[in-house]
Chains A and B, each alone.
Chain A
Amino acid sequence: MPNEETDEQGEIILSDLPDDELVKQMHDDLYDGLAEEVKEGTNILLERGWKADKVLNEALVSGMTIVGIDFRDGILFVPEVLLAANSMKAGMAILRPILVSTGAKPVGKMVIGTVKGDIHDIGKNLVGMMMEGAGFEVINLGINTSVEKYLEALKEHRPDILGMSALLTTTMPYMKVVIDMMKEEGIRSEYIVMVGGAPLNEEFGKEIGADAYCRDAATAVETAKRLVAERRATA
């Protein structure tokens, strides 16, 4: 099971590969959505004395960056990206406790939900999936999310990012209700607020006081990475 069959090379024994080849192989395995292989590769690198954050960044995150680019460019299919993201998650499950115990910074955490009165969630789920694929921890609140539920989740999970999605022109304004409530409670500056959904645009994002509007899942990942890095740099 841990070994992959390839036409040219026959069986690959992951543990026989030198570090640089193993990392490359893990990038391929992520691309192919092979969760078991990614888990094994993660464990091997840890056994060889790699630090968890080095495994995360060099083996997993950079592998998923390739997946992200090919998704953005319309080369990969959604189900393939889903498998890749799940493989990433499998590797992350091994790394997360070590990252926490060593005090290393995880990639980031996001709470995401479709706003109250709205049930459109295909796009929001794709964003969640891509964010997980990029190494973020994602707490998905589902659909029809009230301001109370968002705020509770912020308190409980202390994420870096609050993400809101809306597809109806009648529910878009609810995003402002949530942001205003965050201001009222004096917690607005503690979080990055990202919004998205087909009827929104840049201007609307600015108007309601969000940090970013994102037109698609790939942009959401890029924006999230950038904003988290900026915050950490100034923190």
Chain B
Amino acid sequence: MSENQEPPPTVSEGGEEKATTEGDPPAGSKAPSRSVSVTSDKSQISGKRSLEDVVPDEDAQEDRVGDWRNMRRIIAEDPEWSLATVPLLNELVVKHIVTNFENNSEVLKSLLSKHQKAVLEKISVDLPLKVTALLVEDEGFWQRCCKARWEICDVSAYGGSWKRMYMEKNLQQIIELFVPETTKPDQLEETLALSSNFINKLDIRQLLPPVREAPKGPDFDDISDAGSEAGDEPECDHFSFGPVLPKLPFLQELHLTYGVKDCGMNFEWNLFQFTSRDCLQLSQCVAACKTLKVFHLHKSKVDDDKVRVLISHILDHPGLVELDLSHNIISDRGARAVGKFLNNHSQLVRLNLCDNQIRVAGAQAIAHALTKNNLLQFLNLRLNRLGDEGGQAISRALLKNRTLVEVNLGSNDLAEPSAAILSQVVMQNQVLRSIDLSCNRLGPDGGKQLQEGMEDNSTVILMDLRLTECGQESEYCINQILHRNQEADREKRIKDSESVNALYKKSNIEPQAAHRFNLPPTAIIA
């Protein structure tokens, strides 16, 4: 502290002040005049520091030099005094724009890009869609909107576009909550008009029936259930897609479930009624929507007649690639219709008829269609009632078919003869890659036959034999073969993709030795 005496009086003053602040708060004789200034704070800090450090000379000196100007700038008697900088006019304007964005949103386009960004970061997510939908492209904003509205947001399911996600989810929500004849279509129409260009996919989990008998007591007896079950009137129609689908020019995927989610104890059969008029309307819509590629109709009690209506409408649909009618009650006649659909009247690549009631006849119809079809690659007949004969029919069809890549015959009550034919299929067919035979009573002999068949095969990489009672030994052998095939397949894919990724590899010079195992983007290993 001896050095403090030598420098000019201001410094010594600072030193004195420090000395005072060290000891007690700035309530001393000189303190009031400076209590407001920043220097006192800083000196306090430095004082604290000096308390902490045993030898604070350097720090003190540094601070003194740093604070010298501030210490000189002392304005007394001004309690409002603050050194916080006045915000820039830019910021003020941005702030203003943000607060009045709803009223004057067009100004956004005339802003500089950095100011645009600033505005977009600050505007509220609750702004009405009509303001933002066409105006804002910024993903950040839409991300904020999504996150504010839904907890789980998986943007990858929406092609990485937050805006699309928001639009689609918004529309889905509106449709799911739409009650025919009671809800006014204004909001729907408005939303449709605004978001039609961004909608690619509609995944509608529930469709509410019209509320006809408003206070239907939940604690009615069995009779009421029976009555409601019997009350199968044509008026009980759901939301009609007729006016909606034509307004969506880019729609590619449509997932529908005619049913009510979370009905709880308010269960009524007619909540889950897919009426024939619904079916007709839907079929017409789907047929009219030429852009559609994927059509799912789950858990909607679609029976044979409705399937026939649907199929008859979408016959020769130009774009439809995937059809999913799982968890319905389609049986042989419906299967026959589907068979006809498959038989060169569609572009179908993927067909899912899981959990229906298709029996031998239906299986035969589909098998027949399979022999003729040369587009279908994925077929799922899980949890039907094909029986062994149906299984045989399908298996024989597989002998001829050369396009099917994946087939699921799980839980179909197949037996040994099917396994025998399948072993032949496995031997001959070089296209088939995945066969699911779980939960069929193939028995040990069937297992042996399959094993024999598999030994001559090099393409099948997946064969599910769980709960087939085909014996552990053959299962083990088959698994080994499958593993071998998988490895071979992987090698092949790497080799194939090498040429494709040559460019990619060239552009990315990879570090050292990892290049051989660092797989290019196309080789995704299952």
| A-B interaction | no
Residues of A near any B CB (own CB < 8 A): none
Residues of B near any A CB (own CB < 8 A): none
